[in-house]
Copies of this chain bind each other. A is one copy, B any other.
Amino acid sequence: MSQETTDDLPALWTHEPHIHLAFKPGDSVAAIDTNATPGFKGSKRDAPDLLLERAERFAELQEMLYANSLAGDNRKVLLVLQGMDTSGKGGIVKHVVGAGNPQGIQYANFGKPTEEELAHDFLWRVEARLPTSGHVGVFDRSHYEDVLIVRVHDLVAPEIWSTRYDTINDFEKRIALDGTTIVKVAMFVSLDEQKKRLSERLDRPDKYWKYNPADVDERLLWPRYQEAYQAMLERTSTDVAPWHVIPCDRKWYARLAVTELLIEALEGLDLSWPPADFDIEAEKTRLASA
């Protein structure tokens, strides 16, 4: 990605967030400071107003992408969200993606595969939910589950999951060639922060529905998940689809950072409002007498 500064990057960011957040060879999942706010000079107090302002910018660009698709532009954006339970994927969907127009947003949630899905190759259900021209697609979990939970729980043999990294790279290269800008976000919370968030779900009746006893069991597997995340980042961070590592102990930071990543992806498309594909003056005349 280019290092040039976006014209209107808010002054509270020292650099474009991707510079601090892009996964680099040698980076270690175990060493992530989940409480950090890389590249951001502001504080939590600055966050609500800034998020509102930047979410509006995202919404404007998202609408422009949609408008261009009606004029034949086949480009689209795909946001891939991966992260342990309570890392804040849902908050990104609600507070960041939610700023967009439902007309141009395509949301897909990948839970436990159905029998029909399991009867197909692991990318089958993912292909079916790829965003179409002009849309911002969001994968809330994704094909990466097939090298994370599947690897940790030995749901398929190592000979199988180990081939999937290359398969995924080929797949993402293909959809990138088809005009998809891929924004991959790996969200990390500390075990302590996760415990706090799970506790809250047990304390608040309006949060019970988000609690799943299995989440506690997964905590015990954290070292194996770290290993799986490490392999995922190392093996599938490519030029066309780099991973970004988001420290998520501070929800407000994660939301601001992902918003900027989306804005940057959209600004990279050099969008403008599509020109009229009709004779403006002739239409004015026709309309005046209709």
Which B residues are CB-close (under 8 A) to A100? 98, 102
Asked if B195 and A284 sit within 8 Å, CB to CB, the answer is: no
Stoichiometry, as copies per complex, reads 2
CB pair B287–A198 under 8 Å, yes or no, is yes
Smallest CB-CB separation from A210: which chain B residue?
Answer: B67
**A213 proximal to B (CB < 8 A):** yes
Tell me how many residues of A have a C-beta within 8 Å of chain B: 43
Which of A154-162, A233-241, A253-261, A272-280 participates in binding chain B?
A272-280
Residue-by-residue, is A264-290 near B (CB-CB < 8 Å gives 1, otherwise 0)? 000000000111101010011011001
Give the chain B neighbours of A90 by CB distance below 8 A.
103
Docked pose: A273 CA to B290 CA in angstroms: 53
What B residues does A274 contact at CB under 8 A? 208-209
Closest to A99 in B: B98
Pairwise interchain contact B140-A103, C-beta atoms closer than 8 A: yes
Interface contact A202-B280, CB-CB below 8 Å: yes
A94 interfacial by beta-carbon distance below 8 Å: yes
A122 within 8 A of B: no
Jot down 26 A-B pairs with beta carbons below 8 A, ordered by A. Answer: A67-B209, A68-B209, A70-B209, A93-B102, A93-B103, A94-B103, A98-B102, A102-B102, A102-B105, A102-B138, A103-B109, A103-B140, A198-B287, A199-B284, A199-B287, A202-B283, A205-B275, A206-B273, A208-B274, A208-B275, A208-B276, A209-B273, A211-B278, A213-B278, A216-B283, A220-B290
Q: Show the binding face of A for B, using Cβ within 8 Å.
A: 67-68, 70-71, 90, 93-94, 97-98, 100-103, 105, 107, 109, 138, 140, 195, 198-199, 202, 205-206, 208-211, 213, 216, 219-220, 273-276, 278, 280, 283-284, 286-287, 290
The 3 closest A-B CB pairs, nearest first, are A67-B209, A208-B276, A102-B107
